Amino acid sequence: ETGVTQSPTHLIKTRGQQVTLRCSSQSGHNTVSWYQQALGQGPQFIFQYYREEENGRGNFPPRFSGLQFPNYSSELNVNALELDDSALYLCASSSSGTVHSPLHFGNGTRLTVT
């Protein structure tokens, strides 16, 4: 069973730039969620993708956007980066539909905005 993989592991960007983070879901999972984890805090829900469509969104501005592909992998895009966007971005996959499963997290992408 292949777990959730994220790339890159670390990234440094400048304020105002754009970034794309990638996630491959665990085999057998059809849902991908993205979370932002600031230092010393719990993960905060950004959005969830199911059947290639956004299926719920947290309190994040529109400059946070995403995609899910037919193979259930996903991207998180952040435009116009701000210093406060510096955080660990966690992708989690799960199963939705008839049977729901818990979140399984990847190792995350550490984003630093300078």
Partner 1 sequence: GENVEQHPSTLSVQEGDSAVIKCTYSDSASNYFPWYKQELGKRPQLIIDIRSNVGEKKDQRIAVTLNKTAKHFSLHITETQPEDSAVYFCAASMNFNKFYFGSGTKLNVKP
Among 10, 40, 83, 84, binds partner 1 (CB under 8 A): 40
Nearer to partner 1, 14 or 40 (CB): 40
Work out whether 48 is an interface residue with partner 1 (CB under 8 A).
yes
> SS3 breakdown of the chain: % helix, strand, coil, rounded to 5?
5, 50, 45
- CA angle, 19 then 30 then 76, to 5°: 5
Nearer to partner 1, 43 or 66 (CB): 43
Work out whether 8 is an interface residue with partner 1 (CB under 8 A).
no
Shortest gap between Cβ of 83 and partner 1 (angstroms)?
A: 21
Distance between CA atoms of 76 and 31, rounded to whole angstroms?
Answer: 14
